[in-house]
Amino acid sequence: MSDSLSLHIALIHYPVYNKHREVIASAVSGLDLHDIARAARTYGVRSFSVVTPLADQQKLARRIVAHWTDGFGATYNPNRKEALSLVNVRASLQDVVDDISNSDQVKPKTVITDAKPHLHQISYERLTQMLKHGSPYLLLFGTAWGLTEDFIDKADYVLSPIEGRGSYNHLSVRSAAAIILDRLL
């Protein structure tokens, strides 16, 4: 992959579905922050945004990140500091898009990940080729039971789902993020 790779990722906590297909804001998980940040750093992702409109969840995410980037954890585990330094906590997807637009001088194309197939999805191979052109892309991961249909419909692209060996398809978001980054990069 070229040095001009401009892939950003975001973990979306709202709007997502719960198991009853109600629209909710899901809780932030420290495991997701740590594991996705480490995968993002390993694969050269430019930024990792955690998106939640809930003030208490923003505070929690910032506290976790600060422990490993500014607190005792920064000296205890410099590798964790390096990975978690990629994390930005934002209230909305628009905040993330604005951050990337300001840093890259162009609005990123958004790419949804989803466990379900979509009519106009793109393959991993196609997205890998698109990434080589240097334009910024923002890969969006949903939490809980997935991103809402309205949210998905607003994206520029939907990536093909990860398919296992059988009909069971309910990976943790941190596992899915690692698999997807490995396939793309």
Check which CATH number belongs to the domain holding 104 and give it.
Answer: 3.40.1280.10
Query: Do 110 and 138 contact (CB within 8 A), yes or no?
Result: yes
User: What is the number of domains present in the chain?
Assistant: 1
The answer to whether residue 76 sits within a structural domain is yes
Q: Which of 176, 183, 139 is nearest to 45 (CA)?
A: 139
Q: Is residue 88 part of a domain?
A: yes
Q: Mean of the pLDDT values across residues 141-145?
A: 97
Residue type present at position 115 = A
- Does residue 109 contact residue 157 with C-beta atoms inside 8 Å? yes
Rounded distance between C-alpha atoms, residue 79 and residue 62, angstroms: 18
Q: Kindly state whether residue 154 falls inside one of the protein's structural domains.
A: yes
% of the chain with per-residue pLDDT over 90: 92
Per the domain annotation, does 68 fall within a domain? Answer: yes
- Say what the pLDDT of residue 2 is: 41
Q: In whole angstroms, what is the distance from residue 170 CA to residue 97 CA? A: 28
20 part of a folded domain: yes
**Lowest mean pLDDT, pick from 17-21, 59-63, 115-119, 137-141:** 115-119
Is residue 1 situated within a structural domain?
no
Is the predicted pLDDT of residue 3 greater than 70, yes or no? no
What's the token pair of residue 144? 């809980």
Question: Greatest CA separation found in the chain?
Answer: 48
Identify which has the larger pLDDT, 167 or 157: 157
Q: Which two tokens stand for residue 174?
A: 């941190």
pTM above 0.85, yes or no: yes
Partner residues linked to 139 by β-bridges: 9, 111
Task: Convert the pLDDT of each residue in 72-129 to its tens digit.
Answer: 999 999 999 999 999 999 999 999 999 999 999 999 999 999 999 999 999 999 999 9
Q: Judge whether 2 lies within some domain.
A: no
Is the peptide bond between 15 and the residue preceding it cis, with omega within 30 degrees of 0?
Answer: yes
State the pLDDT confidence band at 1, using cuts at 50, 70 and 90. very low
Q: Which domain holds residue 90?
A: 7-184
Could you tell me if residue 107 is inside a domain? yes
Q: Can you say how many angstroms the Cα of residue 122 is from the centroid of all Cα atoms in its chain? A: 17
Q: What mean pLDDT comes out for the span 25-52?
A: 98
